[in-house]
Amino acid sequence: MVPEYTNNSGKKVEKPVGAFGLFLLSVVIGVIASFGAVFFRALIGFFHNILFLGRLSFVYDANVHTPPSIWGPLVILVPVAGAAGVTFLVKNFAPETKGHGVPEVMHGIYYEKGFIRPVVVIIKAFASALSIGSGASIGREGPIIQIGAALGSSLARIFALPAWQRITIIAAGAGGGIAATFNTPLGGVLFAVEILLHEVSVRTLVPVAISTATATYLGRIFFGAHPSFVIPSFEQPFFKLTDPVVLLSYVGLGVIMGVASAAYIRSIYGFEDLFERRIPGGAYFRHMFGMLLSGLIMYLLFITTGHYYIEGVGYATVQEILTGTLAQVPFLLLLFCLKLLATSLALGSGASGGVFSPALFMGATLGAAYGDVLHNFFPGLDISPPAFAVAGMAGLVGGATGAAIASIIMIMEMTYDYSVVIPLTITVALSYGVRSLLSKESIYTMKLARRGHYLPGALHSNVHRLKRSRDIMEVHFAIVPAALTLTEFASSVDGHGTSRWYILEDGASIAGVTTRDSGLAALVESGGTRLLREAVNTVYVIVGDDVTLTDVLARLENENAAVALVVREVGPATVANVTGVIDKEMIADAMGASFEFFSDYR
């Protein structure tokens, strides 16, 4: 059998591992990502307990409100101290760890061929843990995605994997981190599919699923098998679909969440511009000033309500809403506004953390407020405000991040209630659609678009992979002795008709390949006595006749070759076995024919 690809350039190329090797790497990255999630959450607990409570402990339950700080009013300065440490880490060691992390992973995939610096693992873990632990209103999903992705990239580099396997392992690491952190194995897979993977196929999806399953299993050993939010009321499902009017009410919720998602995106980047362009001073002053304002909001809430509410991930507030203990509409709307402001201050001024948890918080507050209003105006309807809070969480996450399907599944997994699927689907679909009308870019892609780095808006079927090398190859070529002089070659050209490509033969072996124009140009430049094989010898690769066009093009790019010689699948790579010639122009023409499936041009 002829290898699918061979080359004569001597250049070292990356080699893919086999199916079993990729399986093992998927398990390994799942294990590493789960331990990364455990370490990261413990680190958050460490900083939170030290900075707020003055005690040494790694235990931290984000679903329970933080007790009153031992520092009293000076707790306002806790986020400021955290900001100083975060700025030092980000500024001096890894600037890409600033912000919510996911855009940097996407940039690494699409613009750096899956290369992410290993230092990101440590700096992101400490910077984000310090940000969250000191009270910044941000989430832990962005950091664990960036940490898992950096771990995956490092593992892929050790084994010198090609780009597609490298990106697959990155997505597996990120998905595994999410799955372990939130106990959402399906959500981890779908997030990787919607946000990170450049291709959805068996070869990419299976490794991600293996990694998330492994990470979830280990995460449950450390964090428990319970859902992220325990809702006793869900023993009697909230979502009773006997009344279609109730179902239609989720249409209104979806529209509201779409508007809120767009506002969330614009607020984050609006505050980023505000701090960079209007606030004087360097990175330290800007971030410390932003977190001072956050500290003031946090403390004012504490002295008026008894809880800090907007500090950290905010899951305690979400838990209260879902259990029905927090249901006052004015206060819910106030919390929504303050959380939006605090998150914008944190990320806009330079914090290191995610946008997922704040979206859950804001979706829950706004959804519950909407549900309470409906319940008060239409008491005859079977309206449950916590049900609208759950749908609101999915709606705002799906609308803001663009991970619509992942948000539906993750909220289902985080609440353990399958009856949410229809209301969630309606809410998320409308939220995503409305947000797309108001803001084309998601909260992730907006950051890259502002740099002029655009990402694919959709995953397309690989229609061009339907064609194989034998379908587009040029079968009219000539075989000439490699020992011909350039003058002899010029004399023989007319005898070969319209052939453009010439294969140089040395006995039975292939000595090179050239074109009519290259040979004649060499005659003018070098004189007629020079041998053809010395004057012109285009770099080429040899491929089988059943190879996809994308794989042919990849080999041409990797070997910096201009042409591929197509040989029969069975038999040696000899002149007699060559059946055709392919160059990049032929591949471009074949791929261009498939664009009509996706183009809006008429």
- Which residue's entry shows tokens 């235990």? 59
The torsion region of residue 230 among left (phi > 0), alpha (psi -120 to 50) and beta comes to: beta
Beta strands 563-567; 578-583: pairing state: antiparallel
Of 346, 340, 334, which is closest to residue 286 (Cα–Cα)?
346
Q: What is the dihedral of CA 88, 91, 92, 93, to 10 degrees?
A: 110
Task: Give mean pLDDT, residues 447-470.
Answer: 79
Cβ–Cβ under 8 Å, residues 247 and 426: yes
Task: Give mean pLDDT, residues 137-153.
Answer: 92
CA dist 428 and 405 (Å) reads: 8
Query: What are the DSSP calls for 93-133, one per residue?
Result: H-GGGSB-SHHHHHHHHHHSTT---THHHHHHHHHHHHHHH
Cβ–Cβ under 8 Å, residues 384 and 372: no
CA dist 513 and 378 (Å) reads: 80
Of all residues in the chain, what percent are helix, strand and coil, respectively (each to 5)? 65, 10, 30
Which pLDDT does position 113 carry in this prediction?
A: 85
Which pLDDT does position 596 carry in this prediction?
A: 65
Beta strands 563-567; 540-544: pairing state: parallel
3-state SS track over 496-514 = HCCCCEEEEEECCEEEEEE
CA dist 277 and 255 (Å) reads: 33
- What six digits make up the tokens of 568? 């029969």
Q: What is the dihedral of CA 59, 65, 67, 69, to 10 degrees?
A: 90
Tell me: the pLDDT tens digits for 183-239?
A: 889 999 999 989 998 888 899 999 999 999 999 999 999 888 777 776 655 444 545
Tell me: the pLDDT tens digits for 410-424?
A: 888 887 777 778 889
Helix (H, G, I), strand (E, B) or coil at 278: helix
Tell me: the pLDDT tens digits for 348-400?
A: 999 999 999 999 999 999 999 999 999 888 877 777 888 899 999 999 999 99
β-bridge mates for residue 485, sequence order? 531
Which pLDDT does position 333 carry in this prediction?
A: 97
Residue 50: Cβ within 10 Å count: 15
Q: Which of 201-210, 447-456, 543-552 has the highest mean pLDDT?
A: 201-210
Residues in the chain: 602
* Domains, the chain, ordered by start: 12-223 (1.10.3080.10), 244-449 (1.10.3080.10), 463-595 (3.10.580.10)
β-bridge mates for residue 563, sequence order? 540, 583
Which uninterrupted H or E stretch holds 579? Answer: strand 578-583
CA angle 153, 94, 447 (to 5 degrees): 80
Residue 67 DSSP symbol: P
Backbone φ and ψ for 99, nearest 5 degrees, come out as: 90, -155
